[in-house]
Amino acid sequence: MTMHSSHAASCVPAPPKAKCIPHQLEKHDQVRVDPYYWLNDRTNPEVVAYLQAENEYAKAMQEHTADLEQVLFKEIKGRIQQTDLSVPFQQEDYIYYIRYEEGKEYALYCRKKGSLSSPEEIMIDGNALAQGHEYFSLGHWMISSGQDILAYAIDTQGRRIYSIGFKNLTTGETLPDVIPAVTGNMEWGNDNRTIFYSRQDPDTLRAYQIYRHVLGTDSAQDELVYEEVDETFSAFVAKSKSKRFLLIGLHQTVSSEYRYLNADTPWGTFQVFHPRERGHEYDVDHLGDHFFIRTNDQAKNFRLMKAEVKATQKTQWQEVIPHRPDVFFEGFELFREHLVVEERRQGLIHLRILSNSGGQEHELDFGEPAYLAALGDNFMIDTPYLRFGYTSMTTPMTIYDYHMDTREKIFLKQEEVLGDFQISHYQTERLFAPAADGTSIPISLVYRKGFAPNGSHPLLLYGYGSYGASMDASFSSARVSLLDRGFVYALAHIRGGEELGRQWYEQGKLLEKKNTFTDFIACAEFLVQRGYGNAQKLYAMGGSAGGLLMGAVMNLQPEMFHGVVAQVPFVDVVTTMLDPNIPLTTGEYDEWGDPNQRESYDYMLSYSPYDNVKPQAYPHLLVTAGLHDSQVQYWEPAKWVAKLRALKRDDHRLLLKTNMEAGHSGASGRFKRYEETAMIYAFLLDLAGVAQT
């Protein structure tokens, strides 16, 4: 499909040209010339002007779909219950919940003492805090042990750099204590006046320090409790479910370490739980006389161990749940009388209930071919009820309490979807596509009933496939706007995720990363062959590392997709991984490889989307970026688009939309974020020829 706008050709932004000699990047006796390297300065007025020119061009190119965008935004927003209330949860003697008021972008954080019939206390009004800010995010919030002091973290730029504030919930007074430039991660000691928090490196944004703050003191004098010197590790602070221990967690891609301190004596010294070992990952919680440890020691898919409080070394751990090669042990929840295990079998989550007194175990049955089940807000130890959430591609998120003894499932709330939406109008399936090496790749998909796999429908295939992050089949009320217009939506569970266990992740990282890309292509080919999508109306979408996937697939099979959406794409892999001063770099050598090593350098260079742009035809492409993105720097998509503009041999649309006020997650606000969704959907519907409003 050619460009619609009659003046489009005249307003195409010229590829930016540096005002100096193109930057030369030398490594391993090889020189790469990067003519757009100069774009990595967000303070340069010429860089800002270029991004704004691209935004104007994108706006002009989508002028003919402006009405459709508005219809879609109104439609998506119209499905949202504006006056809404989260499912309340209990902590100590208070019941907490979040609610929204009609027309407002941000939540009110509330509580009631004892029961829901008690008077409401509004702890924080996000709308009031957001006033005067283009971007606003309230991150973590924590209640002190005495239930009278609220600590909350806010970000007003989108770079995930927070300030922590405090409020006395008894008097309503905002305390003078302010802790600036932190990660937002924090945890209270049990003395009701000491709080621990993590701070990031100002350049790389790696969380590497844990500080201790005492209310009423100057935060500039806060005590540094721990500093992580290994640049591949990051640090955070948490508390055990028992609330007896404070925990410092230290994690990198393949190793971890914990330190612990009695929360009743927060001025004390943290002790090492078990020293780090290369390749050993473990997580810790506590209940009663034991720590419980999820570990991959001699267990690729993890197993559960326990240790007495005064005997935390690995040699003294006792096995609770053994390793199983066909089951991935994802997590657990501790209760006084029960142990709940979250595990994956054949890519799907199962929740298994074990009695601590030796009773018969059982598991919850969810009854759909593809779904997401997740442990919910389970803060109370002495309860027979398990809180969990369930969703599928046809079922909005539904929250239940489950009585672990009587096995009664109590419905609490389902995400309300307004308008004429009915679950019965949609169908979900789970298929398996053969990869190039014979591996079966799961695919979850959804469509409106009445669909027939006759090869006539537009199809959007989504993928991620990195960091061991599993992409589960969940519901999206916004997606209904595509399904109701005839689209099929499919989710490719490609290698690099962890849907089928740790080996699924390992087969899609480092020197096997290309499996991620070829798996995605195999899924697309399979769906077209089976008639689920029209080869001429096949679309792909992915974000962040999924944006790298989009770029790699476009270089490998440029003719396969009619259109591609790459959201905040990580596309300049080699240059980024060679720069230890960029956020996330050093901590990800075990994900992508260390380009200082020749073998890893050559392999990354062979698939890096930016480095492999060729003078050839590419699909229609919509790229998004965030000027303040701390995870994928804005210049990666900007450079990629500039190079594509200079080299591509087609008249297909190439659009770059940079949010000048936001970061990795895009716009803030409950409704505003859907403006970008509407823009993306309008782009896809227009390409597919189903752009009727």
Which positions are catalytic? 544, 629, 664
Residue 136 is encoded by which pair of tokens?
A: 């606003």
Q: Which helix (H) or strand (E) holds 686?
A: helix 674-688
Report the C-alpha gap between 180 and 155 in whole angstroms. Answer: 10
Report the C-alpha gap between 352 and 367 in whole angstroms. Answer: 15
Instruction: Classify residue 508 by its DSSP letter.
Output: T
Burial of 424 (0-12, 13-18, 19+ CB in 10 A): exposed
Report the C-alpha gap between 287 and 524 in whole angstroms. Answer: 47
Question: What is the distance between the terminal CA atoms of the chain, rounded to a whole angstrom?
Answer: 19
> 166 Cβ partners below 8 Å, 6+ apart?
149, 150, 151, 152, 174, 175, 177, 215
Q: Which helix (H) or strand (E) holds 687?
A: helix 674-688
Q: Are the CB atoms for 258 and 246 separated by under 8 Å?
A: no
Residue 66 is encoded by which pair of tokens?
A: 């402006």
Q: Are the CB atoms for 658 and 607 separated by under 8 Å?
A: no
Smallest CA-to-CA distance from 291 within 320, 322, 250 is with 320
Q: Are the CB atoms for 141 and 167 separated by under 8 Å?
A: no
Report the C-alpha gap between 391 and 491 in whole angstroms. Answer: 15
The alpha carbon dihedral of 678, 683, 689, 691 has a sign of positive
How big is the chain by its Cα radius of gyration, in Å? 26
Token pair 């221990």: residue: 245
Q: What is the DSSP string of 120-143?
A: PEEEEEHHHHHTT-SS-EEEEEEE
Smallest CA-to-CA distance from 565 within 412, 410, 687, 442 is with 687
Q: Are the CB atoms for 60 and 11 separated by under 8 Å?
A: yes
Residue 670 is encoded by which pair of tokens?
A: 């409950």
Q: What is the DSSP string of 270-285?
A: -EEEE---TT--EEEE
What is the 3-class SS of 290-345, one letter each residue? EEEEEECCCCCCCEEEEEECCCCCHHHCEEEECCCCCEEEEEEEECCCEEEEEEEE
> 418 Cβ partners below 8 Å, 6+ apart?
78, 79, 80, 81
Report the C-alpha gap between 363 and 365 in whole angstroms. Answer: 6
Q: Cα 468 from chain centroid?
A: 12
Report the C-alpha gap between 476 and 396 in whole angstroms. Answer: 7
What is the 3-class SS of 591-658, one letter each residue? HHCCCCCHHHHHHHHHHCCCCCCCCCCCCEEEEEEECCCCCCCCHHHHHHHHHHHHHCCCCCCEEEEE
Phi-psi region of 618 (alpha: psi -120 to 50; beta: other; left: phi over 0): beta
Residue 383 is encoded by which pair of tokens?
A: 């309860």
Residue 376 is encoded by which pair of tokens?
A: 């919910």
Phi, psi of 638 (to 5 degrees): -65, -45
Token pair 């508390």: residue: 239
Instruction: Classify residue 192 by its DSSP letter.
Output: S
Name 160's bridge partners. none
